[in-house]
A and B are shown apart, each in its own frame.
Chain A
Amino acid sequence: MEKTVNHKAWFLVLPVLMLVAFSAVIPLMTVVNYAFQDTFGNNVFFWHGLGWFEDLLHSDRMWNALWRQLAFSGIILAIEIPLGVFVALNMPKRGVWASVVLVLMSLPLLIPWNVVGTIWQIFGRVDIGLLGYALNSLGINYNYTQNPAHAWATVIVMDVWHWTSLVALLAYAGLQSIPDAYYQAARIDQASRWKVFRHIELPKMAGVLMIATLLRFMDSFMIYTEPFVVTGGGPGSATTFLSIDLVKMALGQFDLGPAAAFSLMYFLVILLISWVFYTVMTNLDKRG
């Protein structure tokens, strides 16, 4: 059948285009606009070219925040993915307990970010927090407001607490899709527990684990609320991750030009890393 050409159809798409323009494209273009201009106030702007980008590329502050960010994402991925898989392997497969465990596992995911931050902020306090007080009573000089290592540990444990459930639930879904015959065949073939994991469970989970890794990477790379509430980026700038730094720059110092350039580069970095992740993992998947 031949397609009818009717340009009136464009009018039907127009409302969506307008909506997307107002909610996404125009704000983004404003950011792009700021990134190439400078101002001395009074709403008078002048062209600054690639100046802000050059400044940023030579700014230790930005590079330090980026390394901190990469370290943070790397550490939480290295903990959450294996831990999530381990938890999923040990979750009951059917019966009442399966449902109970599923609900319990999804609880941390239902808590708003700033509440998670507040919970851990109070939990870790040395004067009234259960964790902080207990550790100090045990003779460990724990104080996340003064010791950078303690601050990092707190933020990482908090993220693991908050998000391992997601990985576990995804991995669990992958495991549930494996027919019983596979386990039975493995028993007949006398496969060890490790081989069952390596040759049956892991390949069947590969798809969901890829998604889990990608999701956790993007989310952790953009993390803001929880560390902001717990440490505020401190002590010093020990836990100042990219978005905390960005907000400080844009709203704290009101340096709109550099902040705009910063967010564009931030966006591109996330896009780039996600693309690399995705390509590498789908290729791995294809090769099997």
Chain B
Amino acid sequence: MAKISLVNLAHSYLPQPKGPDDFALKELNHDWEDGAAYALLGSSGCGKSTLLNIISGLLVPSQGRILFDGVDVTRAPTAERNIAQVFQFPVVYDTMTVRDNLAFPLRNRGRPESYVAERVTEIARMIGMEHMLDRKARGLTADAKQKISLGRGMVRKDVNALLFDEPLTVIDPHMKWELRTQLKKLHHDFGHTMIYVTHDQTEALTFADKVVVMYDGRVVQIGTPEELFDRPEHTFVGYFIGSPGMNLLPAEVSGRQARIPGGVTTLAGDYRGLSGKVQLGIRPEHLRLTADEGLPVTIRRIEDVGRHRIIRADLGGHDINIIAPEDQAITPEMGRVRLDPLRVNIYADDWRVAAA
């Protein structure tokens, strides 16, 4: 187990990168605390897997350094870093039995056979495959194979970090939840540093202590699930996290007043000297449909998703989403929306501005 530090790290897949657009991963400084569980969240192609492969040593970065507990490993091969990684699509050794597959990483490191047997039994129980240990891995279903890959990733106790690259993509939904719980338990019991790449916010938010949100090759915010929800530092975090995501409205802000489509609203803080593209962001959960208070809206559609209802509405020519609790009755008189001023965030050029 180790603290992993990234120093001025950047990567381009081109041999001679010219501008910042050529970089798949833009310059980055970050410490992954020893023993923490991180989720690396972002849409496809934002550089998540690139970052992961640099940490595990499958890729050498174009610039910058990686330190494990202060030791420079930037050019060290994967084997020396003692890292476990699980890939998006199942990788199993077809001709081996499930048992041999799980034992493979331990045997390659020359562990005694008694220890190997003990670990394999333990891991098999964890992934629920005790009854098929002696079967050949060939011909198993995709999710059984992925469970083997996960098991192979977890079989070594002394790894510096466990990296997961969207490992649950091919797994059945109910099994997903179960495996994720197992991973959390594993983290709790052994305290490995874990980095979990995903584009699924539920997966990220339920798995991790800290979520690292990436956008366009850049880390835009690192925070607890709560921080990401309440104070998204970047508009991307706002609309990527949440279902539906944050409403972003063009705004003219002066002092404690913001003029948005549909009218003027009061803010909780005082904002001065904003420049560039100014936006007001508020989550659908923090909007309330009323009959007599707030700004006028036109309701377009109401979607009942069970726990609550999502109201698709029009506010001064802009689409907004409002979440109404299940117990709130919606009547035709409700033509107004109230913004909770304490929950409003103001963005200038996509980055959050703090009130003065």
- Show the binding face of A for B, using Cβ within 8 Å: 179, 181-182, 184-185, 187-192, 195, 199-200, 203, 288
Contact = CB atoms under 8 A, between A and B. Distances in A.
A192 B78 contact: no
A185 B89 CA distance: 11
Contacts of B149: 185
Contacts of A188: 56, 78, 83-85, 105, 153
List the 10 closest pairs (A to B, CB-CB), nearest first.
A185-B91, A189-B105, A190-B108, A187-B78, A199-B93, A181-B87, A288-B136, A203-B95, A288-B138, A190-B79
Interface string B116-142: 000000000000000000001011000
Nearest to B89: A181
Contacts of A200: 93
B226 interface: no
B49 to A, nearest CB: 11
26 contacts: A179-B89, A179-B91, A181-B87, A181-B88, A184-B58, A185-B85, A187-B58, A187-B78, A187-B79, A188-B56, A188-B78, A188-B83, A188-B85, A188-B153, A189-B105, A189-B152, A190-B109, A191-B104, A195-B108, A199-B96, A199-B104, A200-B93, A288-B94, A288-B136, A288-B138, A288-B139
Residue in B94, B109, B136 with the greatest tally of chain A CB atoms within 10 Å: B94
A189 B108 contact: yes
Contacts of B85: 184-185, 188
Given A185-B149, A190-B109, A203-B94, 9 more contacts: A181-B89, A184-B58, A185-B91, A188-B105, A189-B104, A189-B152, A190-B78, A191-B104, A195-B108
A182 B78 contact: no
A174 to B, nearest CB: 13
Nearest to A202: B95
Contacts of B89: 179, 181
Nearest to A204: B94
Residue in A182, A190, A195, A200 with the greatest tally of chain B CB atoms within 10 Å: A190
A185 B79 contact: no
Given A181-B89, A187-B78, A199-B96, A192 B84 contact: no
B91 to A, nearest CB: 4
Contacts of A288: 94-95, 136, 138-139
Nearest to B77: A187
B94 A181 contact: no
Contacts of A199: 93, 95-96, 104
Contacts of B152: 185, 189
A185 B86 CA distance: 8
A200 B79 CA distance: 18
Interface in B146-204: 149, 152-153
A65 B159 CA distance: 63
A191 B104 CA distance: 8
Interface residues of B, number: 28
Residue in A182, A185, A187 with the greatest tally of chain B CB atoms within 10 Å: A185
B140 to A, nearest CB: 11
A192 B108 contact: yes
A195 B95 CA distance: 12
Contacts of B136: 288
Contacts of B91: 179, 181-182, 184-185
Contacts of A195: 108
A23 B49 CA distance: 60
Contacts of B109: 190
Nearest to A196: B93
B307 to A, nearest CB: 37
Nearest to B137: A288
A203 B137 CA distance: 12
A69 B202 CA distance: 67
Residue in A179, A181, A189, A191 with the greatest tally of chain B CB atoms within 10 Å: A189
A183 to B, nearest CB: 9
Contacts of B87: 181, 184-185
A200 B94 CA distance: 8
A227 B177 CA distance: 67
A203 B58 CA distance: 23
A199 B104 CA distance: 10
B169 to A, nearest CB: 12
A190 B105 CA distance: 7
Interface in B206-256: none
Contacts of A189: 104-105, 108, 152
Residue in A179, A184, A192 with the greatest tally of chain B CB atoms within 10 Å: A184
B244 to A, nearest CB: 34
Nearest to B96: A199
Contacts of B93: 199-200, 203
A192 B105 CA distance: 11
A173 B260 CA distance: 61
Contacts of B153: 188
Contacts of B96: 199
A150 B287 CA distance: 93
Contacts of B94: 203, 288
A237 to B, nearest CB: 45
A183 B95 CA distance: 16
A179 to B, nearest CB: 7
A199 B78 CA distance: 19
Contacts of B84: 188
A132 to B, nearest CB: 46
Nearest to A287: B136
Interface in B19-77: 53, 56-58, 77
A288 B78 CA distance: 30
